[in-house]
Structure 1
Amino acid sequence: MTSKVICISPIDGSVYAERPVLSADEAREAVARAKTAQLAWQERSLEDRISLVLAGVAKIGEMNDEIVPELAHQMGRPVRYGGEFGGFTERASYMAEIAAEALAPIEVADDAAFKRMIKRVPHGVVLVVAPWNYPYMTAINTVAPALIAGNSVVLKHASQTLLVGERMAKAFHEAGVPEDVFQNVFLDHATTSALIAEKSFGFVNFTGSVGGGQAMEKAAAGTFTGVGLELGGKDPGYVMEDADLDAAVDTLIDGAMFNAGQCCCGIERIYVVESLYDAFVEKAVKIVEGYKLGNPLDPETTLGPMAHARFAAEVRAQTQEAIADGAKALIDPAKFPEDDGGAYLMPQILVDVDHSMRVMRDESFGPVVGIMKVKDDAEAIQLMNDSNFGLTASLWTRDVARAEAIGDQIETGTVFLNRADYLDPALCWTGCKDTGRGGGLSIIGYHNLTRPKSYHLKKAQ
C-alpha cells in the first residue's frame, strides 16, 4: 500500500489534504532529473535566473487570497494577519539585489604573467527541508538564493503544510523556471535519509527539530555533503532599567504569543530588572487578557489553534509541571473558554519561575512565557546563556554601547536591540549550540549555497 503524507487541520481535526509519497526509485529519478537540469540552469545568465525567480515570487503574491485561508486550515494562523507574502518577497528581493556582488569572482591578479581568481560555483542539487510554522518565508530563505546561484532545488515541505510546496512549484513553473530545476516532492523520512546517504545532493538545508537535525547529520555522515541546520530555540528577552517599558512589553509579549507562540525566533523567556518587573508583568497580563482565541478563519480571532494537538499537549505539560513546582499562572482560564484541551490552547504568563523548570529550559514553541526578576546585567547574561539553544536574544535599553557589550557575552546567533522576532535578510540568519550551524540569507547565505573554485592561469609568453 502506498504511504501518504497527511495534513490534519488544527481547526477541527479533519484530514485537510493528503498526498502519496514517492517510492525510493521515483525519488532517485527526481534527483537525476534535477542534476541534468541544473547543468543548463547554471549556464543561464545571472540576470535571467534572477528575473525568473522574482517572477515566481510575484506569482505567489497573485495567489495570496487563496493562500491565507489555506494556511489557516493547515497550521492555524488567523486570516486577519494576511499570510507571509511581505516577508517572502522582502527576503527574495534582497537576495536578488545582492546576488551580483555576492557571487562575483574575487580577482586576485590579472597581469602580464598570470590571471588568478576565485569563483563561486553552485553545489548542484540543493535539498530544502522546510518547516510548517512560517512555511513560505522559511522555504524562500534558501530556495531563492539557491536558484539564483545556479543550483537546482528539491523542496520537501512539512506534512502540516504540504500544500505550500505545491503552491511554490506551480508559481515558479508558471513564471518560467524549468520544472526539473525546482521540484516539490513528498518523501518519507527513510527515503530522505537514503538519498542524503547516497550523495544525491550537493547541499542540504533543514529547518526543524533538534532530533530532525541529528537525523540529517547522521544520514550525511561520511558523504562530505554540506548541511545547514536551524533547529530549536529558547530565545530570551532582557529588559534593563532605562528601557522604553511600553515598547518592551508590547514587543516581547507579541514575540512570545504571535502565531500561537510558534515562531523560530519567538520569545520564550523574559528577564526584567527589579525596578521595572512589577509594571512589566502588569502590562503583559493586560495585553494577553485582550487576545481572542478561536477559529483562525474568523477575522476577529487574534490567537488561533496550535498546528497540532500534540504540540499543544507539550506546552500544557510544561506549564502544569512548572505550576506544580511553584510557578504562578497569571492568566485566568475562564477568560479563554475556547481552550478545548486539544489544539486550541489559551495563552499563559508564568512568574515565580526558575531554570529548574522545563518551561524555562526546553523549547516550548507555544503561547506560554516565563518572566523572571534579575538584579543586574551579570545575572541576566548568566541566565540567558543557561540554555542549550542560541538563536536570538532581545535586549532593551537606550544605551547602544551597553547593549553591544552585553551582546558580545551572549551565546546566540543574533542580538536584537529594542526589537524582537524579526529576520533581517541583510544579516546572516544563524545559530549556535543545539540551535544548529550554518547561515542563511545575506552574502554569507550565498557562500553556503556555493563552493569556492580557484583559477591559477599562467599566460603564454
Structure 2
Amino acid sequence: MNFYSINPTTEQTVAEFTAHTPPEVRQMLSAAAAAQGLWARRSLIERVRRIDGLADVLERRRQEGARTITQEMGKPLAQALAEVDKCAGVCRYMASIAPTVLADESVDAGFRHSRVVYEPLGLVLSIMPWNFPLWQFFRFAAPALLAGNGVLLKHAPSTMGSGLFAESVCLEAGLPAGLVTSLLIDVPEVESVIADPAVAAVTFTGSTGGGRAVAQVAARHIKPVVLELGGSDAYIVLADADLDVAVSACVAGRLLNAGQSCIGAKRFIVHASLHDAFVARVAESFDAAVVGSPLDPDTQVGPLARQDLRDTLLDQVRRALDAGARCVTKRTLADVPSKGWFVPPMLLVDVHEDNPAFREELFGPVASVTTFTTEEQAIALANNTDFGLGNAVFSRDASAALRIAAQLQSGTVFINDFVRSHAALPFGGVKASGYGRELGRWGMLEFVNVKNITIG
C-alpha cells in the first residue's frame, strides 16, 4: 500500500510513501520502547537541553518545513512559516517550565515524609490530522518528551511528508534514534498499535467520529487518551461592541488556514441592532480577500487541502441555502482558480438553529450569521451545539463579556479577539470537542504517572 501527497493547488502528486508492513511496525515499536527507556533515564536537565536544541533545528529548517506544509495541504507560505515558528516556540516554552512543573513535591500528610513525583508513562501514540501538520504534533510532543516519554506519530495519509519532517528534525536535534517514530500506517492498523503492550497512552486530534473510535479502542485496553476534536465556535457580538474590532477578529478567525481549523470562527451570533452593518463589512472583507496560490505572498486564502473536503463543504452550503439561508458574498467558484481545490469565502445570513450551517461544523472559508436580541438568547444560541471548543465575546463592557464567558460551554473564551492557542494556556474542549488538555503546565501533566511515595 502507498500513500500520496497531492498538492491541492496543482492537483499533482508531489510524493509517494510506502506503508510500513505489520512486521516493520512491530520492529519499530520495539526500537521505540528501547529508546524511550534510555531517554527516561536521562536527567531532566539533559532533556530540557535537547528540546531547546530541537527549537534551534526547527528555526534553521523553517523554510523546508513550511514548504512541505504548503505543498501537502495548501496553506499560504507565510502562514506555514508562522506554524513552524510556533512549533519552535512551544519547544522553548515547554523546556523553560519543565523543571518547575515536573519537580518533585513534598506534601504534609501527617506521615514522616510524603513526596509526589512525576514519571513518564512510556510510549505515547499520537494520531494527527492534516490541517496544522507540524503544530498539532509538536504542541503534544514537546511536553511529552520533556516528561520522559517516547512518541509515535501516525499522521494523516495526505501529510506523511510532514510527519517524516518532524521525525528528521528530532533526530537532527540529538534525540535518540527511535524516540520519535513516524509510522506510515492507515486507519485499520491503528487498533493493533494501540493494543500493543509497548504503547502506554494515546492522543488524537481530528473529527469527533474518529475520536470516538480511538477512545473505544483505548478503553478496551485501559489506556489513557487525550482527545482534541472538532468545534463550531460561536462569536457573540453584543450591541455595544466595537465594530472595527469585531469585524477584524471575525474575518481573521474565519479565513485563517482557509477556514480549516477546529477553533475557527464559524457561527457569528450578532445583536439585531448591528446585523446590517456587521454583515456588510464582513461580506466586503470576504469579497476582498485574495484567493490564490499559497506561494504568492499576497494570498490570504489558499485551496482546501483535499478534493473531498471541498465537495463536503460545498454540499453543506447547498443544503444550508435549501434550508433558507442566503449567501451575501459575491464570488462563486467561477471567480477562483479552476485548477486546485479552491472555495471563495462565503457569508451566510438568515441562518436559524435548524439550518445545517448552524448545526454542522463548516471546515472551510464559510461563516454563518444568526441574530439575537437578549443576552440570554445569545448564550443559548452559542451553547446550542454538540461542540464545546472555543467562543469569543465582543463588547466594550468587560463585566458583561466576562459574565457571558462564564456561561459558555467551551474550553476557551476570548474577549475582543479571535480564538487561538498559546503555549502557556490550556487548550482543549468539552462535549463532542473532546477531553484532556494540551499546552501549558496542564498539557505537560497529561502523560505522566503522578506517583505518591510515603514513608510511614
Q: Place the TM-score, normalised by the shorter chain, in its bin.
A: over 0.9
Judge which range, 197-206 or 375-384, deviates more: 197-206
Aligned to 2:89: 90
SS in structure 2 of the partner of residue 283 of structure 1: helix
The CA deviation at 1:446 is 1.6
Contact 1:34 1:152 in 2 (8 A): yes
* Change in CA separation of 1:379 and 1:263 when aligned onto 2, cut-off 3 Å: same
Tell me whether 1:441 sits opposite 2:436 in the alignment: no
SS in structure 1 of the partner of residue 335 of structure 2: coil
Judge which range, 240-249 or 88-97, deviates more: 88-97
Aligned to 2:324: 326
Contact 1:197 1:220 in 2 (8 A): yes
Cα-to-partner distance string for 1:213-267 (whole Å, 9 max, x where unaligned) = 1221122132110010011110110011221110110111111112110012001
* Partner AA of 1:89 in structure 2: A
The CA deviation at 1:355 is 1.6
Match of 2:273 among 272, 275, 287: 275
Aligned to 1:104: 103
Aligned to 1:15: 13
Aligned to 1:264: 262
Match of 1:292 among 284, 290, 293: 290
Contact 2:329 2:345 in 1 (8 A): yes
Matches within 5 A, 1:156-175: 156-175=154-173
* Partner AA of 2:105 in structure 1: I
Match of 2:66 among 65, 68, 76: 68
Contact 2:265 2:367 in 1 (8 A): yes
Following the alignment from structure 1 to structure 2, what is the Cα–Cα distance between the partners of residues 194 and 382? 42
The CA deviation at 1:436 is 0.8
SS in structure 1 of the partner of residue 107 of structure 2: strand
Aligned to 2:50: 52
Matches within 5 A, 1:219-258: 219-258=217-256
The CA deviation at 1:68 is 2.4
* Change in CA separation of 1:157 and 1:82 when aligned onto 2, cut-off 3 Å: closer
SS in structure 2 of the partner of residue 172 of structure 1: helix
The CA deviation at 1:133 is 0.8
Aligned to 1:126: 124
The CA deviation at 1:398 is 2.2
* Partner AA of 1:178 in structure 2: P
SS in structure 1 of the partner of residue 281 of structure 2: helix
Contact 1:77 1:305 in 2 (8 A): yes
- For structure 2, the 5+ residue unaligned runs are none
Following the alignment from structure 1 to structure 2, what is the Cα–Cα distance between the partners of residues 255 and 221? 35
Following the alignment from structure 2 to structure 1, what is the Cα–Cα distance between the partners of residues 285 and 345? 11
SS in structure 2 of the partner of residue 104 of structure 1: coil
Contact 1:60 1:167 in 2 (8 A): no
SS in structure 1 of the partner of residue 300 of structure 2: coil
Cα-to-partner distance string for 1:38-62 (whole Å, 9 max, x where unaligned) = 1221111111101111211221211
Cα-to-partner distance string for 1:96-136 (whole Å, 9 max, x where unaligned) = 1211121112201499x722111111010011112111111
Contact 1:196 1:220 in 2 (8 A): yes
Tell me whether 1:213 sits opposite 2:211 in the alignment: yes
Following the alignment from structure 1 to structure 2, what is the Cα–Cα distance between the partners of residues 436 and 340? 37
Contact 1:241 1:275 in 2 (8 A): yes
Aligned to 2:174: 176
* Partner AA of 1:197 in structure 2: A
Aligned to 2:354: 356
Aligned to 2:145: 147
Matches within 5 A, 1:335-354: 337-340=335-338, 343-354=341-352
Following the alignment from structure 1 to structure 2, what is the Cα–Cα distance between the partners of residues 176 and 79? 28
Match of 1:31 among 9, 24, 29: 29
Taking every aligned residue pair, what percent have the same amino acid on both sides? 33
Following the alignment from structure 1 to structure 2, what is the Cα–Cα distance between the partners of residues 407 and 75? 34
The CA deviation at 1:339 is 5.0
Judge which range, 336-345 or 309-318, deviates more: 336-345
Aligned to 1:194: 192
Matches within 5 A, 1:413-452: 413-452=411-450
Tell me whether 1:115 sits opposite 2:99 in the alignment: no
* Partner AA of 1:234 in structure 2: S
SS in structure 1 of the partner of residue 199 of structure 2: coil
* Partner AA of 2:324 in structure 1: G
Q: CA RMSD in A?
A: 1.7
Tell me whether 1:386 sits opposite 2:422 in the alignment: no
Q: For this pair of structures, how many residues does the alignment match? A: 455
Contact 1:57 1:171 in 2 (8 A): no
Judge which range, 55-64 or 329-338, deviates more: 329-338
Contact 2:393 2:414 in 1 (8 A): yes
Following the alignment from structure 1 to structure 2, what is the Cα–Cα distance between the partners of residues 171 and 408? 41
Following the alignment from structure 1 to structure 2, what is the Cα–Cα distance between the partners of residues 110 and 236? 45
SS in structure 1 of the partner of residue 168 of structure 2: helix
Cα-to-partner distance string for 1:169-199 (whole Å, 9 max, x where unaligned) = 1111111101121112211212211111234
Following the alignment from structure 1 to structure 2, what is the Cα–Cα distance between the partners of residues 399 and 86? 35
Following the alignment from structure 2 to structure 1, what is the Cα–Cα distance between the partners of residues 269 and 352? 11
SS in structure 2 of the partner of residue 318 of structure 1: helix
Judge which range, 160-169 or 230-239, deviates more: 160-169
- For structure 1, the 5+ residue unaligned runs are none
* Change in CA separation of 1:314 and 1:334 when aligned onto 2, cut-off 3 Å: closer
Cα-to-partner distance string for 1:296-333 (whole Å, 9 max, x where unaligned) = 12223221110001111111111111112221111122
Aligned to 1:368: 366
Structure-1-length-normalised TM-score = 0.95
